[in-house]
């Protein structure tokens, strides 16, 4: 296919060249009605490109097949059979993917390190999860994707399961052994879905971990806005084979998606695909080299340690690692990752991604260069010099009580949907142990629930969350963000 084309971008240009005049949404009418103060911040061109998709970008009957052509080019670029664009983020896309594999009260094998959007899908659909455990690193206190053996055991115990969902890469950059998990699923003629939100770039460079379609997965969901160059909320579904049909996936996506998709987001997806096909290998070469240099430099800074393959990969850990996710352990400075992230934003205007009780992470993409890398390294050097001696970086004595791996796993006492929609009450958190939780309690980022509706809380997890919040953890989906109270199932 001719990847120099960009059907959405070309259609936007044609819309303006033809002098199309809208008497349709959006009501700002190419920015003419937008507040000048708003245009001054966002720019005129944002409004000019914000046109209606059908009856604007394309005609009333979509005879130009603008979106279909853009999706076909994306599928060809990443070796998928079909691709669908989504403008509601992978949080919606993964729900549609789940609904394409299983329905109410049917079983789906799901890795317990799933994003909160997966749990939302379980709640909305009434799917019965069969959880498979992540591989926990008790020394570093973090989770890596489950092993293939855990999926094999889950399928053996639940032969009526309708498929599996795997999260890979994780927010910590480690990946599952997807090829083996796919082999296990396909041996039973069951679909394997991959939540690959952090893997948009993987198809475009041989030195990156194997991506879902090349591993044989049936369906994967990718957030182009994360490691690609799309706008926030730009997401795609990729589909291969016949275990899930395009018509089924399209119907599930239509059930959840918006009827007012953003052409800006479509254009971002379309333009990124063209850029990656034409320049991706070269751009990612530079990004990988830069990330490697930053890793080596930061490792030499007093009190800091950069996690690499030796820490994150191997037996009982991740199968592979995305080197563009640079995780820095700051515990040697006597501060928490929460403190470090807050201080770097306040004093160096640097925003980092994941922060936890002992780490911060810097996400590198092809957009980074020597200037951004030097600014990050300089800020981390300053962090090292000032830790323990500067306001905001006092030695942190608020220890987060991270439980042993076996204590993190809670009993699934009820279906997530039944717990979420059933009668609930709020109780003091110190009285919540033993009760069935009715809300998600999700340290964010990375957005993996520590407790989800239907699980029976125990003292270890409650203490972990309470000490985490006291140390700076954010739990945004809790009804009471301070965790003074927790919503539980009444009479549980």
Give residues with Cβ within 8 angstroms of 399, minimum separation 6.
467, 471
Distance CA(293)–CA(134), nearest Å, equals 31
Q: What is the DSSP string of 146-171?
A: PPHHHHHHHHHH-TT---EEEE-S-T
pLDDT 10s digit of each residue in the chain, 492 long?
999 999 999 999 999 999 999 999 999 999 999 999 999 999 999 999 999 999 999 999 999 999 999 999 999 999 999 999 999 889 899 999 999 999 999 999 999 989 889 999 999 999 999 999 999 888 888 889 999 999 999 999 999 999 999 999 999 999 999 999 999 999 999 999 999 999 999 999 999 999 999 999 999 999 999 999 999 999 999 999 999 999 999 999 999 988 899 999 999 999 999 999 999 999 999 999 999 999 999 999 999 999 999 999 999 999 999 999 999 999 999 999 999 999 999 999 999 999 998 999 999 999 999 999 999 999 999 999 999 887 778 776 677 888 777 777 889 999 999 999 999 999 999 999 999 999 999 887 666 888 999 999 999 999 999 998 988 889 988 999 999 999 999 988
Neighbours of 180 (CB within 10 A): 16
Distance CA(132)–CA(466), nearest Å, equals 26
Q: Which residues of 60-86 are buried (b: 16+ CB within 10 A; e: fewer)?
A: eeeeeebbebbbebbbbbbebebbbbb
DSSP state of 54: B
Give pLDDT, residue 395: 72
Q: Which two tokens stand for residue 39?
A: 């245009």
Give pLDDT, residue 150: 97
Neighbours of 31 (CB within 10 A): 20
Give pLDDT, residue 101: 96
Neighbours of 361 (CB within 10 A): 21
Q: Which residues of 214-241 are buried (b: 16+ CB within 10 A; e: fewer)?
A: ebbbbbbbbbbbbbbbbbebbbbbbbbe
* Dihedral Cα 61, 67, 68, 69, nearest 10 deg: 120
């Amino acid at each position: 296919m001719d990847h120099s084309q960009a059907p959405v971008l070309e259609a936007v240009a044609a819309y303006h060249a033809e002098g199309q005049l809208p008497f349709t949404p959006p009501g700002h009418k190419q920015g003419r009605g937008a507040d000048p103060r708003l245009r001054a911040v966002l720019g005129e061109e944002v409004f000019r490109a914000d046109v209606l998709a059908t009856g604007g970008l394309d005609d009333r009957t979509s005879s130009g097949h603008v979106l279909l052509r853009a999706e076909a080019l994306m599928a060809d670029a990443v070796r998928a059979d079909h691709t669908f664009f989504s403008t509601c983020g992978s949080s919606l896309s993964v729900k549609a993917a789940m609904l394409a594999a299983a329905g109410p009260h049917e079983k789906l094998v799901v890795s317990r390190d799933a994003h909160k959007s997966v749990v939302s899908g379980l709640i909305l659909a009434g799917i019965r999860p069969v959880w498979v455990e992540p591989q926990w690193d008790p020394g570093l206190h973090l989770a890596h994707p489950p092993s293939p053996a855990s999926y094999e055991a889950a399928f053996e115990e639940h032969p009526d399961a309708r498929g599996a969902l795997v999260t890979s890469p994780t927010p910590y950059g480690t990946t599952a052994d997807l090829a083996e998990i796919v082999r296990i699923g396909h041996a039973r003629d069951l679909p394997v879905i991959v939540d690959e939100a952090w893997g948009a770039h993987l198809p475009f460079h041989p030195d990156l971990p194997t991506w879902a379609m090349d591993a044989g997965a049936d369906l994967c969901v990718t957030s182009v806005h994360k490691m690609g160059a799309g706008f926030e909320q730009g997401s795609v579904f990729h589909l291969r084979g016949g275990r899930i049909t395009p018509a089924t996936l399209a119907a599930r996506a239509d059930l959840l998606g918006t009827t007012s998709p953003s052409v800006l987001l479509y254009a971002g997806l379309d333009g990124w695909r063209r850029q990656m096909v034409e320049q991706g290998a070269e751009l990612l070469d530079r990004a990988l080299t830069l990330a490697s240099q930053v890793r080596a430099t930061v490792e030499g800074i007093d009190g800091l340690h950069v996690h690499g393959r030796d820490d994150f990969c191997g037996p009982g850990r991740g199968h592979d690692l995305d080197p563009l996710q640079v995780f820095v352990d700051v515990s040697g400075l006597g501060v928490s990752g929460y403190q470090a992230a807050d201080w770097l934003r306040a004093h160096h205007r640097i925003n980092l991604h994941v922060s936890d009780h002992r780490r911060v992470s810097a996400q590198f993409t092809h957009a980074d260069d020597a200037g951004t890398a030097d600014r990050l390294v300089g800020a981390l050097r300053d962090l090292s010099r000032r830790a323990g001696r500067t306001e905001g970086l006092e030695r942190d004595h608020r220890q987060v009580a991270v439980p042993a791996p076996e204590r993190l796993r809670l009993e699934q006492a009820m279906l997530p949907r039944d717990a979420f929609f059933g009668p609930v009450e709020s109780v003091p958190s110190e009285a919540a142990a033993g009760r069935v939780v009715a809300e998600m309690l999700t340290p964010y980022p990375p957005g993996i629930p520590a407790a989800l509706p239907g699980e029976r809380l125990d003292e270890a997890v409650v203490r972990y969350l309470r000490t985490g919040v006291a140390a700076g953890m954010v739990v945004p989906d809790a009804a009471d963000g301070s965790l003074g109270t927790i919503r539980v199932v009444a009479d549980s």
